[in-house]
Structure 1
Amino acid sequence: MSMKRLLAEVSTHHFPNPPATPAQIAAFEARVGWKLDEDLRAFYLHCNGATLFAPLPDVNYHLLPLDRIERARAAIRGSEEDADGSPSHYTLVDMQDTNFVILDVATPENGSYPLLDAFHETYPDEAPRIAASFAEFLEKALRSGNRSFWLSSGPLEE
């Protein structure tokens, strides 16, 4: 499904924030030292974060606004030490209880950053890949029925 259709679905059925401005995106990229890929740029120009299925605070999928994205090791371990996680891992989705979906900005493939599961009890030793791109992740999340699709054995919704 195209990003345009996914973003329309977020706006119609979920809880998007107002869009980020180009200046906010530029400030974010200067702060973190990497550029948003095409899917992420489209998402943040459409909405600067969102929640899926329910509004805050009781939500499983909290797609973070730009000002809340940080290194995963800082968010999960409260540390900036390399032993506590890769410097190229950044939070993207707060799944609550210090569990996150994270980006690996060091290993883009076909112009997209892969998304990983960062379970607070096993990160950084385990961070399995759950999507090759943000568009793939968003599509699966929207079909998840508010479940962590990569942990569920049930079928995704149509």
Structure 2
Amino acid sequence: MNIEQLVKLIKQKHHLSGIEINPPATLSDIIEFENQIGFSLPPDFREFYLTCNGFCCNEDIFNMIPFQEIIESQQNFGNSWFYFSEYMIYSDMWGLRYTATGQFEIFNDSYPDKILSSSLNEFLQRFLTGNVFDTGGLYEWHNELRINNSNE
């Protein structure tokens, strides 16, 4: 499933509880953002921002953060990383990090050393399946990874 399809399904799932999908970013918006953060976005992040420049979902007050909001606050980005998602008005955040080896890592600010994925597609599928707290959701993903890592 591609990013555009995932955004459409997330919109359908949350239309009754409330969701606002932002208009797409332009290619020049993306290039300007990449210049601010110091690296080029991976293809799935580019696809997401060309589909929509973030969204606000009433479910768990979960947001995919638009470029302007990321850049407005210095604590939302740094050298080779930025927070792209948050819930409960920045109670918890998910970020993308570009490593020295040229890899991308999605992480949660509560467990910055635990890599959830390198795929925004996988991240959005987890949100589509279980929101933040439900079965199959983002927090269950954290717990699955924590348990799997402790068994190694």
- TM-score normalised by length of structure 2: 0.70
- 1:35-90 deviation digits (Å, cap 9, x = unpaired): 111111111011101134x27xx60x2110012225x98249xxx7xxxxxx3231
Identity %: 26
CA contact (8 A) 1:19 1:47 kept: yes
CA contact (8 A) 1:115 1:129 kept: yes
Tell me, which stretches of 5 or more residues in structure 1 are unaligned? 81-86, 154-158
Q: Quote the Cα distance in structure 2 between the aligned partners of 1:91 and 1:45.
A: 18
CA contact (8 A) 1:141 1:149 kept: no
Residue 138, structure 1, aligned to residue 131, structure 2? no
Tell me, which stretches of 5 or more residues in structure 2 are unaligned? 134-138, 145-152
Task: Select which of 17, 22, 32 maps to 2:27.
Answer: 22
Q: How many pairs does the alignment contain?
A: 131
CA contact (8 A) 2:82 2:97 kept: yes
Structure 2 CA distance for partners of 1:46 and 1:105, relative to 1, 3 Å? same
Structure 2 CA distance for partners of 1:6 and 1:108, relative to 1, 3 Å? farther
Task: Select which of 94, 98, 103 maps to 1:101.
Answer: 94
Task: Select which of 46, 50, 55 maps to 2:55.
Answer: 50
Q: Quote the Cα distance in structure 2 between the aligned partners of 1:108 and 1:10.
A: 30
CA contact (8 A) 2:37 2:82 kept: no
Q: Quote the Cα distance in structure 1 between the aligned partners of 2:94 and 2:51.
A: 20
- 1:101-130 deviation digits (Å, cap 9, x = unpaired): 011112554xxx2210112xxx6xx43111
Within 5 Å, which residues of 2 pair with 1:4-153?
4-14=4-14, 15=19, 16-52=21-57, 54=58, 59=61, 61-69=62-70, 74-75=75-76, 87-96=79-88, 97-106=90-99, 108-109=102-103, 113-119=104-110, 126-147=112-133, 148-151=139-142
Partner residue of 2:147? none
CA contact (8 A) 1:114 1:134 kept: no
CA contact (8 A) 2:4 2:51 kept: no
- TM-score normalised by length of structure 1: 0.68
Q: Quote the Cα distance in structure 2 between the aligned partners of 1:131 and 1:103.
A: 10
Note the aligned Cα RMSD (angstroms). 2.8
Structure 2 CA distance for partners of 1:65 and 1:144, relative to 1, 3 Å? same
